[in-house]
Structure 1
């Protein structure tokens, strides 16, 4: 029995029952699932981009809080994640994932958005803002990947995604949270289904082989309002990542280290994450 797959579908049913639209569209030949919720606020659309092995479901508990402030909330499943079909794109898997994200924003969002990216989704959001700034009204990076790391730290980080045994699954789960919830620890062995997919393995192998990182100049040149959130309990990304972003983000970027945040605050402290995003939007006059 695919327990995690069943739980993912159950989350989707709950979201749809509460008024969230669940749709699948063709983006350049790739089938992409996404959630959309019409908001009551006057702010721009919010686009939520998840990380490696994650899914749009991970942001589900932020949808309704964000909808009170913004005009739309949109959360795609990157190819090979969530309910989107497997896809890599040959030898440049990361780049092709990004191209699907870029095309999705252009095709489905259709206007400058407040883009919020977590982990690998954070790195992709930086690239979107750097290469296609016309689609990014403001940028929020939540524990983003993409910092230039020494080879040994890069290898150790990627090896963490190799989850083979229940013990490794529980250890990995603890690294994601400030305080891992008991249900997450009990279900941790099922994580192997998320990190053993062809897409996730291809992405990990590519980053392992090439040590892909963001271009420092691209980060420095970000012209839109930027919020950088880092968890005081971050245990997945090395502290050197925080140092790298602090050294390369533009002077106008707001950098906050938040006590009680781990790597995925959208899952553990969704209301607090929404509060940070809304305060930033208010201050940036979005």
Structure 2
């Protein structure tokens, strides 16, 4: 077992020891790993969707805070991420992963939920909400990818994630956080393993080849309550992304630019992210 796998397993065991269920589910012919924590709140099921190279473990520090407000907390490892086996699903890898997410919502969640997506998970969650609104009671977007800001800007982001040296790993770590914890800088070189998996490379190549981005009309037509959270210290995605979403999200969307949030606040500032999600749930009557 390598260091990455070992740390992932330690996190999993710690969650299980605290009452989180870790399980494999069969979805559309693919085995997916997910976490489930039964909550004590009156809110609907909340589903957490990670980004490119991320895992369900990345949400570990928000599970218990969310469980106080919602009836169930779920986090899924997309194919080839975390504990889910590699399986790109053909030449259009992003669409294949998206299809698995749809089937997961149908089969495992089983009803409309509060879907919260980060980065690539945010882009997929927008598409899910637009194409299958019956599955999405409310939508949370945390530093979502998918904005149509021009192919060259997206290419730069994906190239920054193609880490092949220790120096590149440290540079990417700095871009992911407002202020990287020392332990993340110490283990920054692990990113070379995380971002060199077949799933991540296939997803990156597919994104560059297809050049498919979220359409303004898709965003404007979202009927459910929408929360958009952007970090004041966002360094991975181009700042033009914020302008794109601000311009095209529906008028009823709640847009929050939060200081000291980087690209993955669920890791760096979990309590503050939980607070943003609960305030939104309270304000919209979830």
Taking structure 1 as the reference length, what is the TM-score of the superposition? Answer: 0.99
Alignment match, 1:184? 184
Q: CA deviation at 1:151?
A: 2.1
Alignment match, 1:131? 131
Answer yes or no: is 1:166 the counterpart of 2:166.
yes
Q: Distance in 2 between matches of 1:104 and 1:153?
A: 31
Q: Distance in 1 between matches of 2:284 and 2:83?
A: 34
Alignment match, 2:60? 60
SS in 2 for 1:19: coil
Q: Distance in 2 between matches of 1:152 and 1:200?
A: 19
Answer yes or no: is 1:80 the counterpart of 2:80.
yes
Alignment match, 1:106? 106
SS in 1 for 2:212: coil
Where do residues 211-230 of structure 1 align in structure 2 (5 Å cutoff)? 211-230=211-230
Q: Distance in 1 between matches of 2:45 and 2:137?
A: 9
Alignment match, 1:264? 264
SS in 1 for 2:209: helix
Alignment match, 1:30? 30
Alignment match, 2:143? 143
SS in 1 for 2:138: strand
SS in 2 for 1:100: helix
SS in 2 for 1:147: coil
Q: Distance in 1 between matches of 2:181 and 2:85?
A: 29
Alignment match, 1:93? 93
SS in 2 for 1:22: strand
- 1:16-49 CA distances to partner (integer Å, 9 max, x unpaired)? 0000000001101101000000000010000000
Alignment match, 1:8? 8
SS in 2 for 1:64: helix
Q: CA deviation at 1:191?
A: 1.0
Unaligned runs of 5+ in 2: none
CA RMSD of aligned residues (A): 0.6
Unaligned runs of 5+ in 1: none
- 1:101-120 CA distances to partner (integer Å, 9 max, x unpaired)? 00001000001100000000
Alignment match, 2:155? 155
Alignment match, 2:119? 119
Q: Distance in 2 between matches of 1:147 and 1:20?
A: 34
Q: Distance in 1 between matches of 2:152 and 2:85?
A: 32
Alignment match, 1:273? 273
Q: Distance in 2 between matches of 1:285 and 1:227?
A: 13
Q: CA deviation at 1:152?
A: 1.6
Answer yes or no: is 1:39 the counterpart of 2:39.
yes
Alignment match, 1:253? 253
Aligned length: 286
Taking structure 2 as the reference length, what is the TM-score of the superposition? Answer: 0.99
